[in-house]
């Protein structure tokens, strides 16, 4: 493999992921520009080597055996703003930019629309792949298009419209595929000091506002960060409760009849708070994975093998490395939680992170 980007060998993924877990990358290439990303991936493809494209490592669970072949770390930088009609602006962001820094930049430029997505770890290139969302906002609402490197065709495809990405709840056609690499994202944001209307009850409560009202974007950002910190969802190297991949399971979306069956099972158990239900597209119902986990008997802080991994003490959806864990420990805990929820409620929880070289 030939590339101008520097190559390191046997770098532990424990140094590259927010879980601080995972074995070595056989070869690690840091790509500091979109051109470097394309060059490194193309060179590995021509050499017939396996390729893993790495961003901030915030949504990744890597096997203890590590990853063979070439891991390309997307570290490209660049962020620019251009005026659009009707009080909008186009924010163009390189895939390697830190996502929370992008949110800060948008607010500094007087742009709103991203404030509810504050504090989410990782890099910008992963945002459309996951259709990242939080506190009532999804990136699908502001995403215009992306630039991609098409590995099969060996070409860069510019301005691929968001409508072609199949954006759904916590996913897209890009998720789980390795034949397209995001190089840039473009977002249409409002030129306004005020946030988008607040849709999430917990956030509205923190702001002391009724649902649907607006607030200064900077104030919304601080409220979101405070809520995330309270759940251990803002990275802190000194706090093992934040050594996670964020929410490990997605909230299940079921047909109404299926949700009613879950409700019946819940009602037949010991008394407790009512089961949360949220409207979803096409008449479906979204349930709270955190509620299901807790009602299945897995309290916050529930420990896995040897206490080396555990559910966060602040958020039952986060599986955390307590400092001496390994990926096998984490997967064992995840299976215990998944199977417990299935046995109790008949609901199969789906992991949100990308699993590399391992499975549940």
**Residues catalogued as catalytic:** 170, 247, 352
Rounded distance between C-alpha atoms, residue 219 and residue 346, angstroms: 41
Rounded distance between C-alpha atoms, residue 54 and residue 60, angstroms: 9
| Closest C-alpha to 35, from 86, 78, 68, 98 | 78
Residues 6 or more apart in contact with residue 303 via CB below 8 angstroms: 309, 310
| Closest C-alpha to 226, from 240, 209, 205 | 205
DSSP classification of residue 20: -
Q: Phi-psi category of 70—alpha, beta or left, where left has phi over 0 and alpha has psi -120 to 50?
A: beta
Rounded distance between C-alpha atoms, residue 273 and residue 271, angstroms: 7
């Amino acid at each position: 493999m030939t590339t101008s980007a520097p190559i390191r060998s046997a770098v532990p993924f424990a140094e590259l992921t927010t879980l601080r877990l995972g074995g070595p990358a056989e070869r690690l290439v840091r790509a500091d520009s979109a051109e470097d990303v394309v060059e490194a991936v193309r060179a590995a493809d021509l050499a017939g080597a396996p390729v893993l494209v790495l961003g901030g490592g915030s949504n990744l669970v890597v096997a203890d055996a590590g990853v063979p072949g070439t891991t390309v770390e997307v570290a490209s930088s660049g962020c620019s703003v251009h005026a659009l009609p009707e009080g909008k602006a186009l924010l163009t962001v390189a895939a390697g930019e830190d996502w929370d820094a992008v949110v800060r930049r948008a607010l500094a430029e007087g742009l709103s629309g991203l404030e509810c997505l504050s504090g989410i770890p990782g890099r910008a290139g992963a945002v459309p792949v996951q259709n990242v969302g939080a506190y009532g906002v999804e990136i699908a609402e502001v995403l215009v298009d992306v630039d991609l490197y098409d590995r099969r065709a060996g070409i860069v495809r510019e301005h691929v419209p968001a409508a072609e990405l199949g954006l759904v709840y916590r996913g897209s056609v890009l998720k789980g595929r390795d034949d397209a690499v995001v190089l840039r994202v473009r977002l249409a944001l409002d030129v306004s000091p005020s946030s988008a209307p607040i849709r999430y009850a917990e956030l509205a409560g923190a702001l002391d506002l009724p649902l649907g009202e607006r607030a200064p974007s900077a104030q919304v950002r601080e409220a979101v960060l405070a809520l995330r910190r309270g759940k251990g969802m803002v990275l802190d190297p000194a706090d093992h409760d934040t050594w996670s991949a964020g929410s490990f399971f997605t909230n299940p979306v079921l047909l109404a009849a299926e949700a009613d069956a879950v409700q019946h099972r819940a009602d037949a158990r010991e008394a407790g708070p009512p089961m949360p239900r949220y409207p979803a597209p096409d008449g479906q119902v979204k349930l709270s994975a955190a509620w299901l986990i807790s009602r299945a008997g897995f309290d916050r802080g529930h420990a896995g093998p040897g206490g080396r991994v555990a559910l966060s003490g602040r958020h039952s959806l986060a599986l955390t490395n307590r400092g001496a864990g390994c990926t096998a420990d984490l997967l064992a805990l995840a299976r215990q939680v998944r199977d417990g929820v299935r046995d109790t409620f008949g609901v199969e929880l789906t992991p949100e992170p990308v699993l590399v070289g391992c499975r549940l």
